[in-house]
Chains A and B, each alone.
Chain A
Amino acid sequence: MGVENKTEMQIKNAREIKSSEITDKQTYLNRRLFMRGAALVATAAATGLLYRKLNPPPAEKPKGDRLVTVANPTSDSGAREGFTTNEKLTSIEDITNYNNFYEFSTDKQSVAYQSKGFVTKPWTAAVEGLVNKPTIFGLEELLKFPLEERVYRLRCVEGWSMVIPWVGFPLARLLEKVEPTAQAKYVAFQTLLDPKRMPNQSTGVLDWPYVEGLRLDEAMHPLTILATGLYGETLPPQDGAPIRLVVPWKYGFKSIKSIVRISLVAAEPPTTWNIQAPNEYGFYSNVNPSVPHPRWSQAREHRIGESSFISRDTLLFNGYAEQVAHLYEGMDLRKYF
């Protein structure tokens, strides 16, 4: 560019532009193509990342400590009492990546990630109320109860089910230790309340802390256990570490997780989902194919791990009728749903 042109409008006629200064057509088109390609790739990548962020794929398999002292139920007597089943086990990947645990997330696939690193040591569970010997149990003491493996079906109120090899001990063993008084008729359970460790408790999606309850005879039933592990390892956080209830003939939400308090009481205690929607979730919440949820049928279920093309019949009391039906003799199961 000449110095003499400085103050004038810098318009050159065609003759003054050196041919070397002209971007040749091919380069111009290449540049344009490149810019367009870059724009396409960049936006597609951004959209992809956004989609991944909003719809994350499931997390990997967690690592627990091996629980050593486990008595396996023999298949004959075990099956008769409902302690085991020869149905195909649900994989550990599915059991640990598909969880309803609203304290961490309302998205079943995010609970594993959100609960990662949940600290369960130290942990205590207070057993109190109408008992002769109220006791605060440390986790170590709870783990000293003789552990058994129990292979149970789990039926979620949402219409899916799993078969889970739990490790735990009958709740009855614990209750016997504290000696319930004659006035005790129900057992109330409570989950940890700590929004720092259970981040979703800072939202109002449920009334925290999560509370559940059983009638005393349900709580003393040999099928009712406190689980501390699954697949022979300590319970991962997303499945209710370090100790949770398992009541296999009731919908999954009755099996309260991460328990810190067990109270023996005289009257039917409040329960979280019943508080949330009394017409949808009753105190009993026994699995029952002929009592539909007000918004969906409970007649069939999808077994996790099976083909998406098939579903199976849901069984009364989740297939444990032989063991538990007597508890509800004479009761109208439609009224006491």
Chain B
Amino acid sequence: MKDARFPKFILFTNALVPLALLLWDVYHKRVGANPLEFVTRTTGMLTLVFLTITLAVTPARKITGLNWLVKFRRMLGLFAFFYGFLHFLTYIWFDRYFNLRSVPGDVASRPFIAIGMVAFFLMIPLAITSTSAMVKRLGGKRWSKLHQLVYVAGIAGALHYWLLVKSDTRLPLTFAFVLLLLLAHRLFVKFYPPGNPAPRATLLPRD
């Protein structure tokens, strides 16, 4: 794909559709009995969805050979950060009503909030260094190393979700499972690069 401008525009629009519908629902008071919980849950879920899709780009590219997929990775990652920011804002704005002094006590009594905060703060340097100029400034190797933090953020995000549900852990565990699968693929490629002989070949009988 030579010119990714239009596909990027499609992705950009689609990524904003959930936000548009959420705002529509809030405006028309169609967010149920507990609007705060609904908005918090929705933005949190969208953050995890976009994080997962972002992390799926590289494995998908390697498996399918469709190298142009990488052109969408930055935008996907930035949307994960964007929805994470909205999620964080919902917490600070509504749950705490900008009473920042109450945050430390609340974080202490609800450990899942601390873990969620860690996940969000880890995404900040990644968002800041997402521009091409920053990739150049850091150098590809160092940049890649830094951006491995996204796995920590993803797993912390899934853990944050798992810790807050009462008994139905199916969704948080699904996120965790998919994230681990994507991480496993990356480790596999690292230790057995496609150019080298496959590990199984050395185990073949010699005769």
Contact = CB atoms under 8 A, between A and B. Distances in A.
Given A44-B14, A295-B110, A309-B97, A304 B33 contact: yes
Contact of B10 (A43, A58, A108, A203): A43
A31 to B, nearest CB: 14
Interface in A39-82: 39-40, 43-44, 47-48, 51-52, 55, 57-58
Interface residues of A, number: 38
Interface string A107-121: 011000000000000
Contact of A57 (B17, B30, B167, B168): B30
A97 interface: yes
B164 interface: yes
Interface stretch (B34-42, B50-58, B122-130): B34-42
Contact of B34 (A203, A292, A304): A304
B101 interface: no
A48 B21 contact: yes
A43 B16 CA distance: 12
Interface residues of B, number: 33
Contact of A52 (B14, B21, B34, B97): B21
Given A98-B32, A276-B167, A304-B33, A297 B110 contact: yes
A146 interface: no
Contact of A51 (B21, B110, B163): B21
B109 interface: yes
Contacts of A296: 109-110
Given A292-B109, A295-B112, A305-B33, A51 B18 contact: yes
Nearest to A304: B33
Which of A47, A94, A292 gathers the greatest number of chain B CB atoms within 10 Å?
A: A47
Contacts of B31: 57
A239 to B, nearest CB: 13
A58 B36 contact: no
A225 B97 CA distance: 38
B6 interface: yes
A44 B17 CA distance: 7
Nearest to A253: B166
Given A43-B10, A102-B167, A295-B111, A51 B32 contact: no
Interface in A93-111: 93-94, 97-98, 102, 106, 108-109
Contacts of A206: 167
A217 interface: no
Contacts of B164: 295
A57 B32 contact: yes
B178 to A, nearest CB: 15
A308 interface: yes
B22 to A, nearest CB: 8
Interface string B51-69: 0000000000000000000
B13 interface: yes
A309 B45 CA distance: 22
6 contacts: A57-B30, A58-B30, A94-B33, A109-B32, A160-B37, A309-B97
Given A36-B6, A295-B111, A309-B97, 5 more contacts: A55-B18, A58-B33, A93-B33, A206-B167, A295-B112
Interface of A: 36, 39-40, 43-44, 47-48, 51-52, 55, 57-58, 90, 93-94, 97-98, 102, 106, 108-109, 158, 160, 203, 205-206, 276-277, 292, 295-297, 302, 304-305, 308-310
